[in-house]
Amino acid sequence: MRWPKWWWVVVALHARSLAQSITPTICQEEACRCDPFTRVICVCTREFPEVTLRPDGAYRVPSTATSLIMENCDRVTFLPDTVRQLIQLRSIELRNVDHVVINERALSWSPFSNRNEMNPGLRISINNCTVDEIASHAIQGRINDVIISNSRIKVLRPFAFSSLMGVNSIELSDNMFENIDIQSFKKFTVDNFILRGGEINILPSRFLSDVEVTNLFRMEGVTVKYMYSFTFLVNLPKRVLIESNHIDTIEGDAFRMVTRGPITIRNNTVMNLRKGAFLGFTVSLQVMSIMGRQELLIDNNTVTNLTPSSIMYNSTRLTLRVDGLNLNQSCSCGLADEWRDITKEQSGAISCWYEFEGYFVSLPTYVDTRCGAFKQNFWIFVVIGILILLILVAIAIFFIVRRENEKKKKVQIVMPDGKTYRETEFHIVVERAELLTTNL
């Protein structure tokens, strides 16, 4: 008896599917489980401290995964192309992980061939983690939101976030960035870009490069050591807010932004504001032609080293309003003079440090009370006046005394012969009465 040929095919197929079902997935990792919603949830323990996410082979992420949630791990590694085939995936969440490594193209996700933004996208959130590295091209494709908060980012490679599509917001809050390479955010469109709180050592040139921010660009409460020229090459924001930051140095042309609305620079403390720091702000031609020039508002900022050229701006596209600029330099008429042109336009909103009293006073007030040819030399005049007065008094006294003396000396005596002798000398002999001694 002979088995028909097709029987072997059935056996072979069966064996293959059997093999596949016994290949373990990440759901079988000790630290992980997959729930009925096909979420992959890994909560590490001391016995099982590490998770590696891989696209194929044993312990791969199953193709049905809807979200990846990693918590309390010592180390989480995303291998290249981990999420590429996960068509059901909607979110990736990392919490309390000590070492996160996101390799090249690890989170590259564009499962839908057309670029329709109505297609679902990923949400990536990283909270309270130390990220060892986000590699080049690590995050790409159809991403809804990226939220990184309370984390330490050790290395951000060039093009780490690049070629993203349909992004709603990128929010980086209260992070510590140690090494940021140039062009880490490269060539994509996002509605809102928010950099808030935390510390950044150096913001390199082209940190954001060819990024379109269509709604809000906000940098708030960040402590930065150094901001290079062309840090932000950004187009199209409707609103730009640079608020409450502490920045050591802002290089010239740090912002290269073509906006569609006003720019507000408020409540910042800057040590060195270099020439032309704000010169790169401009307004799109379209908005310019419909709504006219937009406002660049400088409100309540304290800057230590700057010159008027530091706040140069593109006056063909912007108007400048200074509502508060504290020059952290001690008041002097020279300083007032240097800032005279801008002070005149901005009526009183520019202040200098009045050392004598220990607060900021507006330059015009200082000028009114202290400067001008007369006021400036007031004390000199006072001193000279007093000196002259003293000299006059001294001279007067001298003559009076002399005259008195002469009166005493030159007594005119009329001699019997009727002649008057001047210059008669009198010798006044003082006769002394010796004291009586009682014991005579």
Ligand X SMILES: *[C@@H]1O[C@H](CO)[C@@H](O)[C@H](O)[C@H]1NC(C)=O
Residues binding ligand X (CB under 6 A): 96, 98, 128, 244, 267, 269, 279, 282, 300, 302, 304, 314, 316-317, 328
Beta pairing, strands 413-414 & 420-421: antiparallel
DSSP symbol at 345: H
3-state secondary structure of 351: strand
Tell me the three state secondary structure of residue 341: helix
CB atoms within 10 A of CB 429: 6
Closest CB to ligand X among 122 and 236?
236
> Cβ of residue 267: shortest distance to ligand X, in angstroms?
4
Q: How far apart are CA 130 and CA 141, in angstroms?
A: 24
Q: How far is the CB of 181 from ligand X (least distance, A)?
A: 25
| Cα–Cα distance, 263 to 284 (Å, whole number) | 13
According to DSSP, the residues that pair with 218 across neighbouring strands are: 194, 241
Judged by CB, which is closer to ligand X: 145, or 243? 243
Select 214 or 300, whichever has its Cβ closest to ligand X.
300
159 vs 313 by CB, closer to ligand X: 313
61/100 with CB nearer ligand X: 100
Alpha-carbon gap, residue 412 to 423, rounded angstroms = 8
Which CB, 96 or 119, lies closer to ligand X?
A: 96
Of the pair 96, 332, the CB lying nearest ligand X is at 96
Residue that has been written with the tokens 């880490």 in this structure: 184
Residues in the chain: 440
Smallest distance from ligand X to CB 128, Å? 4
Cβ-count burial 293-317 (b if 16+ within 10 Å, e if not): bbebbbbebbbeebeeebbebeeeb
* CA nearest to 245, candidates 303, 316, 160, 164: 303
* Minimal distance, residue 176 CB to ligand X, in Å: 13
| Smallest distance, ligand X to C-beta of residue 265, A | 12
Cβ 14 to ligand X, closest distance in Å?
Answer: 46
Minimum CB separation from ligand X for residue 258, in Å?
6
Instruction: Round to whole Å and give the CA distance between 409 and 265.
Output: 85
